Chain A
Amino acid sequence: MGGLQKKKYERGSATNYITRNKARKKLQLSLADFRRLCILKGIYPHEPKHKKKVNKGSTAPRTFYLLKDIRFLLHEPIVRKFREYKVFVRKLRKAYGKAEWTAVERLRDNKPGYKLDHIIKERYPTFIDALRDIDDALSMCFLFSTFARTGKCHVQTITLCRRLTVEWMNYVVTSRSLRKVFISIKGIYYQAEVLGQLITWLVPYQFAHDHPTDVDYRVMATFTEMYTTLFGFINFRLYQTLNLVYPPKKLSALSASLARVVATAEEEEENQLDQFPADGEDLENMEAREKEQKEQEAQNRLFEGLKFFLNREVPRESLAFILRCFGAEVSWDKSLCIGGTYNVTDETITHQIVDRPDIDKQYINRYYIQPQWVFDSVNAKMRLPVEDYFLGVTLPPHLSPFVEEKDGDYVPPEKLKLMALQRGEKHVQEEEEDDDDDDDDEEYNDEVDDEDLTEEKNLKKMEDQRSQGKTLAVKVTPGKVKPWETGSVGNKVRLEKEEKAEEKRLAIMMMKKKEKYLYDKIMFGKKRTTREANKLAAKRKAHEDTSKAEKKQKKAKKQ
């Protein structure tokens, strides 16, 4: 045997990874620049499969980058731009110090800048890739567009973000692609389906921000820089798909449509599915898809023909956006913002959205409703009955449209009601009946339990007696034959069930160790979900009981 002894950590995964400090040294960048580069280029640490191997035997916590990623950064042109900028700052500072104003001016004129176009193209080779990753960009831009000019970021960034978000909203309105909305305590969530991609974003409420001190705004600004570039390109492309010019002119109030005529006429044509003769499964699929398409169209026309007026206290932009996405006409008070097209006094208004307990002057021919009606209707894909949302009425709970309950999960009763409503069933006085049924069931269960218990007790007693009776030291007792095993007709189902359960138990005993572990884990998870669901159900029941009791008390008091 010969040959050199192979050294450890010179092959395999140890050579594929590099620690952050080493990467920084290799790139000759400061930590801030390295961070910026990573953000812009989308480089992130990787968690190696065998950390100890990669860490050369040490178990110290380290972050690892892929060596390939870092090599790929080595010849990134933007690194040079960073260095140029550093030099520029140094020169400028010097010129300021010497009060050489001409030099300052000259330097300012030649300020080095960089473009991120090539990075965007490289990170997202296709448009769909970019669209898939736009969630964070949208949320970030919507956040930045609400910032005041407090010096946390450049004013240009704020205005650019505002512009881009308004453009985006106009695109969504024009393409009628909004699907779900949700008022959360954090802000308002929107979900749109753009070119087949579900895009969700969160918009904060319109309040001044209490800027936290423990947040590094430079990181956020770098992200925003990248996101605005990406977002602009995506907007351009989206406007192009609608045959619209980008950048559009004068978009601020979301009142005027971009191309009202174009959109309505064209979309219908576009949405017609081509009919091909197909058979079997394809046909079924086609039918399902067609049905879906129809539903979608119906949802898009949800508010068509309605005329809304927004009161002063409701969030104007969000409501106008949602309503216009579903074909309604919207206006607001002229003093509030430009773009209101008609007045409160307009007799053709069908709905007025009000968020105050009462209003002085009411018109008879319009509904006065709370804003939640709009959100709930959009999520339900139908115009919900307005009675629950009148002024001063206690609103029904607002449910998240993003929750998809699997079997075994807890479904709030409001959702069940809504689903029944969607199916077209009338839901009157069913609640009480349901409750009664529940009670009966429980009682029945209790009885059964009691029976079992008593039986067991009797048996135990008998056994005790037997063991105590010392005169009969030697005794033979026949073993118990359970009553259902004698084959009475009523217990056949139960017997069968038990047999099945036992079979399963025995089969589980024969599982391999690995599979048993996995099985136990899955079953544990399932049990946990059911436990949580039960907990929620119990809480709900307790709440309903207390509210019922309160009602009864009130009634009693009245009488």
Chain B
Amino acid sequence: PLFIPLAQSDMKDYKHLDIRNTVGNVPMEWYQDYPHIGYNLDGKKIFKPIRNKDELDEFLDKMENPDYWRTVHDKTTASDIRLTDEQVDLVHRLQKGQFGDVNFNEYEPSVDFFTNEVMIHPVTNRPQDKRSFIPSLIEKEKVSKLVHAIKMGWIKPRKPKETTPQYYDLWAKEDPNAILGRHKMHVPAPKMRLPGHEESYNPPPEYLLTEEERLVWEQQDAEDRKLPFLPQKHSCLRAVPAFSRFIHERFERCLDLYLCPRQRKMRVNVNPEDLIPKLPKPKDLQPFPTTMSLVYRGHTSLVRSISASPTGQWLVSGSDDFTVRFWEVNTGRCMKTLEVGGAVKSVAWNPNPAVCLVAVCFERTVLLLNPSLGDRLVVSSTDQLITAYEPPEEDKEQAVTWALSEGLEHNMGHRLTLTHPKAVKQVVWHGKGDYLSSVMPDNSSNLQVLIHQVSKRRTQNPFRKNKGLVQCVSFHPLRPYFFVATQRYVRVYNLIKQELTKKLMTNCKWISSMAIHPGGDNLICGSYDCRLAWFDLDLSTKPYKMLRHHKKALRGVAYHRNYPLFASGADDGSVIVCHGMVYNDLLQNPLIVPVKVLKGHQITHDLGVLDVTFHPTQPWVFSSGADTTIRLFT
């Protein structure tokens, strides 16, 4: 009811009706939830207008009402007030920065209240106080305090301004010798890495990451990333945005400079070619086998062992298919096949050219065969040699039983059968051809190695003690020495004095094979941990050289009788032939140069080459493998 539309109400009415709100200067939002908006002078409620103007009303009002521009909304009464002309004038004046009162003159001449001229008479005639003649006690106290403070050094005179310029020639008298001790340990910080093509704003297209690379980059941790940023291509310089990690990178550099521990690291700056040792060329070390020239096929299972006849005309091989085969070397013909009663572990041709005997071992038997190959005279003399045996008067108990073969077996070539108490692994002939040694590996007894004399059909057990599992044995080619290889050591025994002369430390885990240099002063040992150790017996009991040429376990090693060559065969299917020159001069160390890697054997059941042996006169090497073949490399 109190709402009066202003356009219709005249001034008098408005003045007469005093609708001033008495709530004071409080936020009107407090009355939001009430129907009234405050109280008038009589203490009656002032009610809100029934309908608030909405935007449309406002707009219509704006378009239609000519006085809209001078209408002001009064929040306290929620009513619109039309300003009068005087009020509008006042607003204009204030907006211009003029005084509200029209009649106020701001430029009136100022008149001092007191004159600024000094007059000869005082304004009042009052005599001066006594205190104006007496020094002030308070001031005195203050001054004395200050004096005291200055005396005590509490108050300091103001510092004089610095007169030296901020920058001057600091290094005017530079002394390069004035380097402090700590500079010796100084490690200058590395400079920032210079940017590559990929950091360019417009890099060549190959430096941009592909979609996959980008995904990988995003998933990586910040430390693992190869590039700390994503290469980007912008068509023009204008399109290049600010680099968001700029401050970060600078900050990280700061951190690196003062927090990162520094260490001087020597960068190895060598030409890799210089690291390769300068060895004599293999070409200059000929002859040595270079090509595979013959493949001997016929065995049906892996060929464990091979041996060449001393004349070099024949080759014998023993295999897991229970056969022993005799081959002619030059033609590759299989001359003879003998069935034996077990997998053949080892074969050995008698090195004496006047005797034609082959020792074959399988299971618990060592068989001496006369293959009846070659010179008939030699064959018959061999038979005579065996039959010429006369049993001694007193029959001694022997570790093995010697049996002479007869009948069918004799026709097949069997001559003598030595039945051992245990399975035999290896047979080795002495250089003269009369003695024969067999190995029965057994961890728990001293009966592991036996030495047999064929002419007297006698057997000895040279060792009283068990020194470990014997792997292989060998005779010294010239002197009465006997080599026994256990798992990790090679022991050298003097057979005449019956004592241990040397114990060689091989540094291997498990010895597989051993060969003695024909000169007798050098020895090689192959091991299952892929190493080949060369010992110089005069030099030391430790290996003169360890060769790690093979990738897998070594199975066989061999020296050539005449040429300075040795070969090793391993499970990786390769035979490596090395030049191993031994000098008569004691001061000169043996020269070892690998000259050829011979490949040809296929790997079957993780086994490659099982045995290698050299031709006695030619620089040829035979190798037998698990792929049932024997190969000749010339």
A, B co-complexed: yes
Interface residues of A (CB under 8 A from B): 35, 38-39, 43-47, 49, 63-64, 66, 68-69, 72, 109-110, 117, 120-122, 124-127, 130, 133, 135-136, 139-140, 143, 182-187, 189, 200, 202, 204-205, 207-212, 214-216, 219-220, 223, 232-233, 235-237, 240, 246-247, 313-315, 355-356, 370-372, 394-395, 397-400, 402-403, 412-414, 466, 473-481, 485, 499, 502-511, 513, 515, 518-519, 522-523, 526, 536-537, 539-540, 543
Cβ distance B201 to chain A, nearest Cβ, rounded Å: 5
With A127-B171, A200-B191, A506-B597 in contact, do A412 and B261 touch (Cβ < 8 Å)?
no
Q: Which of B206-265 contact A (CB under 8 A)?
A: 206-207, 210, 229, 231-232, 234-238, 240-244, 246-251, 253-255, 257-263
Point out the residues of chain A lying under 8 angstroms from B250, CB to CB.
Answer: 139-140, 143, 220
With A136-B257, A372-B202, A402-B196 in contact, do A503 and B272 touch (Cβ < 8 Å)?
no
**Closest chain B residue to A66, Cβ basis:** B185
**Closest chain B residue to A16, Cβ basis:** B185
Query: CB distance A479 to B631 under 8 Å?
Result: yes
How far, in whole Å, are A135 and B250 apart by their CA atoms in the complex? 12
Query: CB distance B262 to A46 under 8 Å?
Result: yes
Cβ distance B357 to chain A, nearest Cβ, rounded Å: 24
Known: A402-B196, A504-B276, A511-B275. 15 other contacts (CB 8 A): A46-B262, A110-B156, A185-B200, A200-B191, A219-B251, A235-B167, A370-B236, A398-B200, A403-B196, A476-B331, A502-B282, A506-B279, A509-B549, A515-B275, A536-B206
Cβ distance A518 to chain B, nearest Cβ, rounded Å: 6
The answer, among B191, B196, B244, B275, for a CB contact under 8 Å with A400, is B196
With A136-B257, A507-B277, A518-B270 in contact, do A397 and B202 touch (Cβ < 8 Å)?
yes
How far, in whole Å, are A480 and B548 apart by their CA atoms in the complex? 28
The main secondary structure of chain B at its interface with chain A is loop
Query: CB distance A45 to B260 under 8 Å?
Result: yes
With A183-B201, A185-B199 in contact, do A135 and B277 touch (Cβ < 8 Å)?
no
Interface string of B144-183 (1 = CB under 8 A from A): 0000000000001011000000111111001110111111
How far, in whole Å, are A510 and B276 apart by their CA atoms in the complex? 8
Point out the residues of chain B lying under 8 angstroms from A214, CB to CB.
Answer: 248
Cβ distance A218 to chain B, nearest Cβ, rounded Å: 11
Query: CB distance A35 to B194 under 8 Å?
Result: no
How far, in whole Å, are A58 and B282 apart by their CA atoms in the complex? 54
How far, in whole Å, are A480 and B538 apart by their CA atoms in the complex? 42
Query: CB distance B297 to A237 under 8 Å?
Result: no
Point out the residues of chain B lying under 8 angstroms from A121, CB to CB.
Answer: 170-171
Cβ distance A377 to chain B, nearest Cβ, rounded Å: 15
Query: CB distance A370 to B237 under 8 Å?
Result: yes
With A44-B260, A216-B251, A479-B600 in contact, do A204 and B242 touch (Cβ < 8 Å)?
yes
With A68-B185, A126-B176 in contact, do A539 and B268 touch (Cβ < 8 Å)?
no
How far, in whole Å, are A272 and B204 apart by their CA atoms in the complex? 40
Query: CB distance A518 to B275 under 8 Å?
Result: yes
Query: CB distance A185 to B232 under 8 Å?
Result: yes
**Closest chain B residue to A475, Cβ basis:** B297
Cβ distance A148 to chain B, nearest Cβ, rounded Å: 13
With A185-B240, A402-B196, A403-B196 in contact, do A474 and B298 touch (Cβ < 8 Å)?
yes
How far, in whole Å, are A237 and B295 apart by their CA atoms in the complex? 85
Q: B408 on the interface (CB 8 Å rule)?
A: no
Point out the residues of chain B lying under 8 angstroms from A205, CB to CB.
Answer: 240-243
Point out the residues of chain B lying under 8 angstroms from A315, CB to CB.
Answer: 237
The main secondary structure of chain A at its interface with chain B is mixed
Cβ distance B243 to chain A, nearest Cβ, rounded Å: 4
How far, in whole Å, are A35 and B201 apart by their CA atoms in the complex? 37
Point out the residues of chain B lying under 8 angstroms from A223, CB to CB.
Answer: 254, 257
Query: CB distance B242 to A355 under 8 Å?
Result: no
**Closest chain B residue to A71, Cβ basis:** B182
The answer, among A45, A69, A476, for a CB contact under 8 Å with B332, is A476
Cβ distance B224 to chain A, nearest Cβ, rounded Å: 16
Query: CB distance B272 to A412 under 8 Å?
Result: no
The answer, among B197, B260, B593, B595, for a CB contact under 8 Å with A403, is B197
With A205-B243, A518-B268 in contact, do A46 and B279 touch (Cβ < 8 Å)?
no
With A44-B262, A46-B262 in contact, do A506 and B277 touch (Cβ < 8 Å)?
no
**Closest chain A residue to B158, Cβ basis:** A109
**Closest chain A residue to B226, Cβ basis:** A532
Query: CB distance A412 to B204 under 8 Å?
Result: yes
Cβ distance A188 to chain B, nearest Cβ, rounded Å: 9
Cβ distance A404 to chain B, nearest Cβ, rounded Å: 9
With A182-B200, A508-B276 in contact, do A543 and B243 touch (Cβ < 8 Å)?
no
Q: B70 on the interface (CB 8 Å rule)?
A: no
Mind listing 17 A-B residue pairs with CB under 8 Å?
A69-B185, A110-B158, A126-B176, A140-B250, A186-B199, A204-B246, A211-B247, A233-B170, A237-B171, A402-B194, A473-B300, A478-B295, A505-B597, A506-B596, A510-B277, A526-B272, A537-B206
Cβ distance B627 to chain A, nearest Cβ, rounded Å: 10
Q: B373 on the interface (CB 8 Å rule)?
A: no
**Closest chain B residue to A504, Cβ basis:** B276
Point out the residues of chain A lying under 8 angstroms from B203, CB to CB.
Answer: 397-399
Query: CB distance A200 to B192 under 8 Å?
Result: yes
Query: CB distance A398 to B202 under 8 Å?
Result: yes
The answer, among A185, A212, A236, A402, for a CB contact under 8 Å with B201, is A185
Cβ distance A100 to chain B, nearest Cβ, rounded Å: 14
Q: B292 on the interface (CB 8 Å rule)?
A: yes
Interface residues of B (CB under 8 A from A): 156, 158-159, 166-171, 174-176, 178-183, 185, 187-189, 191-192, 194-197, 199-207, 210, 229, 231-232, 234-238, 240-244, 246-251, 253-255, 257-263, 268, 270, 272, 275-279, 281-283, 291-298, 300, 331-334, 547-549, 592-597, 600, 631-633
The answer, among A125, A127, A519, A543, for a CB contact under 8 Å with B206, is A543
Query: CB distance A474 to B170 under 8 Å?
Result: no
Point out the residues of chain B lying under 8 angstroms from A313, CB to CB.
Answer: 238
With A46-B187, A183-B201 in contact, do A38 and B247 touch (Cβ < 8 Å)?
no
Query: CB distance A506 to B169 under 8 Å?
Result: no
Query: CB distance A125 to B182 under 8 Å?
Result: no
Cβ distance B498 to chain A, nearest Cβ, rounded Å: 40
Point out the residues of chain A lying under 8 angstroms from B168, CB to CB.
Answer: 233, 236
Query: CB distance B237 to A125 under 8 Å?
Result: no
Query: CB distance A232 to B166 under 8 Å?
Result: yes
**Closest chain A residue to B276, Cβ basis:** A507
The answer, among B174, B283, B632, for a CB contact under 8 Å with A127, is B174
How far, in whole Å, are A68 and B183 apart by their CA atoms in the complex? 11
Point out the residues of chain A lying under 8 angstroms from B255, CB to CB.
Answer: 219
The answer, among B237, B247, B334, for a CB contact under 8 Å with A183, is B237
Cβ distance A184 to chain B, nearest Cβ, rounded Å: 4
Point out the residues of chain B lying under 8 angstroms from A523, CB to CB.
Answer: 272
The answer, among B182, B242, B248, for a CB contact under 8 Å with A212, is B248
The answer, among B235, B247, B277, B597, for a CB contact under 8 Å with A395, is B235
Query: CB distance B204 to A402 under 8 Å?
Result: no
Point out the residues of chain B lying under 8 angstroms from A509, CB to CB.
Answer: 547, 549, 594
Query: CB distance A519 to B275 under 8 Å?
Result: yes
How far, in whole Å, are A502 and B577 apart by their CA atoms in the complex? 13
Query: CB distance A510 to B593 under 8 Å?
Result: yes
Cβ distance A483 to chain B, nearest Cβ, rounded Å: 13
Query: CB distance A355 to B237 under 8 Å?
Result: yes
**Closest chain A residue to B178, Cβ basis:** A125
Point out the residues of chain A lying under 8 angstroms from B254, CB to CB.
Answer: 39, 140, 219-220, 223
Cβ distance B170 to chain A, nearest Cβ, rounded Å: 4
How far, in whole Å, are A205 and B255 apart by their CA atoms in the complex? 23
With A47-B261, A370-B237, A475-B298 in contact, do A414 and B204 touch (Cβ < 8 Å)?
yes
Point out the residues of chain A lying under 8 angstroms from B180, CB to CB.
Answer: 72, 122
How far, in whole Å, are A43 and B182 apart by their CA atoms in the complex? 10
Query: CB distance A183 to B240 under 8 Å?
Result: yes
Query: CB distance A207 to B262 under 8 Å?
Result: no
Cβ distance B212 to chain A, nearest Cβ, rounded Å: 12
Query: CB distance B192 to A356 under 8 Å?
Result: no
Query: CB distance B258 to A35 under 8 Å?
Result: yes
Query: CB distance A522 to B272 under 8 Å?
Result: yes
With A45-B262, A510-B594, A543-B206 in contact, do A184 and B201 touch (Cβ < 8 Å)?
yes
